Chains A and B, each alone.
Chain A
Amino acid sequence: MKTLNIFLLVVIFTTFDVKSAKDTFYLYLESHLFYPSELVIPANKKVKLIIENKDSTPEEFDSFDLNREKVIYPGRKVTIYIGPLKPGRYEYFGEFNPNTALGTIIVESDRHVH
C-alpha cells in the first residue's frame, strides 16, 4: 500500500499546475440555449470561459472536442479553461438538453472578441 500511496502522490503533484489565463470569455444558458451560440476565441492561447446558467434546472456543459464536462447548477456560474487550441471549430452541447443547447467555439488566428 505504501507503493500505491507514493505512486498516487507522484502522479498528482507532477501534473499539478496553476497557470492563470489572461483572456476571459462569457457564455450563458437561457431556455436551454447557449448564448452566443458561436464564440470566437484566439488560437494558441489559453482562455478562461465563464458560463452562467439562467435556467431553473441544471445543465451539463459537454464537449468531446474540447474534452470538457461540467455541471452548471441553476443561477450559478462556472469557470472552465480551454486551450491553447489550433484554429478551427469546436462543438459543445448541453448533455441534459442536447437537441437545443448547442454551440460552437470558433478558434481564429486573428483575434475577434465577441
Chain B
Amino acid sequence: MFINTVIVLLRDMLPIFILFSYLSVLLTNKSSVKAVGFVLGVALGTLLYLLAESISDMFGGRGSELVKTGLAILGYGCFVRFSVARGFSSKSLYFDLAVVVGVLCVVSSQFSSFLVYLFSQVNGSGNVVTLSTASVIGLGIAMSFSYLYRFLLQALVRHGNTWLVVMCWSLFLSGLLSQVYFHLAQVDMVTIGLKRLELGSWASESSVVGYLFKATIGFELSPVIGQFILYFLAACLLVGLRGFSPVPKVSEGVH
C-alpha cells in the first residue's frame, strides 16, 4: 500500500505540480490568478469526489469519462487562449479568466482522482499512518521534481531558449487534450485507432520514465494511434495559432 500510494499520488498529482512549474516561468506576474485557480480547482475536485458515484452513473455509466473529457477540452481551450496572447501576458479579464479556468480544470480532474484512491484506502485498510507517510513522501517527490523542472525551464529562458520552453508547454497541453481520446475510448465512444504504438521500447509506460514523460510533455510511450494523432494535431494547432509571432519575453520576473 505504501509504494502504491506514492505511485498513484505521482500519477495524479505530479501533472498539477508540472503545470505550476510551467506557469511559474510563463506567467510570472499573476500569482493571485494562479492561486484562485488552484483553490477553486481543489474545491471542484472535492465536489467531484463527493458526487463521484452519481456522476459515474450518469449517461449510461459514462459520466466520469464525459466529465473528464469536458474538463480536458475546456482546460486545453483556456490554456490555448492564454498561450496565444502576445508574450503570454495581457491585462484583459478574459486572459485572467482563461488562466483560472484552465488551472481549475486540470487541478479538479487530477485531485478528484487522487481523492477516490485516498479515501478507498482509508475506508478499506484504515491505516492512516502509512497512508499519511506515503502521501508526504509522494508529495515531497512531486515537489522536488517540479522545482528541478522549474529550474531547468528558467535556465532555458535565461540562455535564450524560450522557444524550447514554449514547445514543451505546447506538448504538455497536447497531452492534456489527447486524454480526451483515452477517456472516450474507455466508454466505447471512439472505436477506431485503438491499436497501440510502441514508441518507447526502451522504457515501459508504467515505469518512472514513462510517468515523467507523460507528466512533463504529456507524451505516452505506448499511445494508441488515435491518441497519438490527436496529440500531434493539438501540438500543430497551437503552433499554428501562435504562428510566427515573436518569441515571448517570459524571462522578465524570473529569478
Contact = CB atoms under 8 A, between A and B. Distances in A.
A79 interface: yes
A73 B56 contact: yes
Interface in A36-86: 46, 55-60, 64, 67-71, 73, 76, 78-81
B186 A71 contact: no
Interface stretch (A3-11, A22-30, A105-113): A3-11
B241 interface: yes
Contact of A73 (B8, B53, B241): B53
Contacts of B240: 3
B196 A67 contact: yes
Given A4-B77, A80-B186, A96-B121, A71 B64 contact: yes
Contact of B192 (A15, A76, A80, A95): A15
A32 B123 CA distance: 13
Contacts, number: 92
**Interface range on chain A (Cβ under 8 Å from partner):** 35 or more
Interface string B190-203: 11111010000000
Given A15-B192, A59-B120, A78 B222 contact: no
Interface of A: 1, 3-4, 7-8, 11-12, 15-19, 32, 46, 55-60, 64, 67-71, 73, 76, 78-81, 95-98
18 contacts: A3-B237, A3-B241, A8-B73, A11-B180, A17-B191, A58-B116, A59-B120, A60-B117, A67-B182, A67-B194, A67-B196, A71-B52, A71-B116, A76-B56, A78-B61, A95-B117, A96-B8, A98-B4
